[in-house]
Amino acid sequence: MVIVRDLVKTYGTGANALNGVSMDVNAGEVLVLMGPSGSGKTILISISILGGILTATSGSVTIDGREIVGMPEKELPALRRDLFGFIFQDFTLFPALTALENVAVMCRLKNVPHPSRQAAELLESVGLGAKLKSYPADLSGGQKQGVAMCGRCCANASGDFPERRRGCAERWRSQDSALAPR
């Protein structure tokens, strides 16, 4: 569960990006954040959901009971790695890596055993078994989305691997991967 209270982000110039935002995100909940350009959506996500990539000026963000505002920098990467997964607008795959390597890199980040093998199984489970050696430039938008989702499945899902693979495939089929909570 994510609890945000009175979150303020002020830039050095004195401009406020966030001015006392509060919200709760429950486990399993799908939340859509909408607002005009420049309203602070990205800043809010960067401080809270992205696990403290940006630091808040004041306020509180609690994730699964852990306060992350003021958390030492060295503890934040593990938080991002273990609790969150993202699929960006353009999927942000590594153009120099094949589909298999893209997923395997994410598996390695998570210290998953046999990352290449598990990456291959994940890609096969979403029907991209024939694209293991394809580069992002050779994939369609949907296929890129599939590769990006497999990377996040590998890197974030808890539980045993077959379960994770099934979950990944299901999300792929339902095409809601970008919003699916973990």
Pick the stretch among 7-15, 27-35, 96-104, 120-128 that binds other proteins (CB under 8 A): 96-104
**Cβ-based nearer residue to other proteins, 77 or 127:** 77
Distance of CA 119 to the CA centre of its chain: 17
Minimum distance between the CB of residue 103 and other proteins, rounded to whole angstroms?
12
Pick the stretch among 3-11, 20-28, 37-45, 161-169 that binds other proteins (CB under 8 A): 37-45
- Among residues 106, 119, 149, 157, the one that binds other proteins under rule CB under 8 A: 106
Nearest to 79 by CA among 51, 48, 53: 51
**Cβ-based nearer residue to other proteins, 62 or 116:** 116
Calculate helix-pair angle for 141-156, 99-109, nearest 10 degrees.
20
According to the binding rule CB under 8 A, does residue 96 interact with other proteins?
yes
**Cβ-based nearer residue to other proteins, 141 or 162:** 141
| Cα–Cα distance for residue pair 150/110, rounded to 1 Å | 13
Angle at CA of residue 21, ends 19 and 23, nearest 5°: 175
**Cβ-based nearer residue to other proteins, 138 or 162:** 138
| Cα–Cα distance for residue pair 33/45, rounded to 1 Å | 9
Is 162 within 8 Å of 169 (Cβ atoms)? Answer: no
Calculate helix-pair angle for 99-109, 115-125, nearest 10 degrees.
120
Residues in the site for other proteins, rule: CB under 8 A?
Answer: 42-43, 45-46, 50-51, 53-54, 74, 77-82, 84-86, 88-90, 92, 94-97, 101, 105-106, 108-110, 135, 151, 155
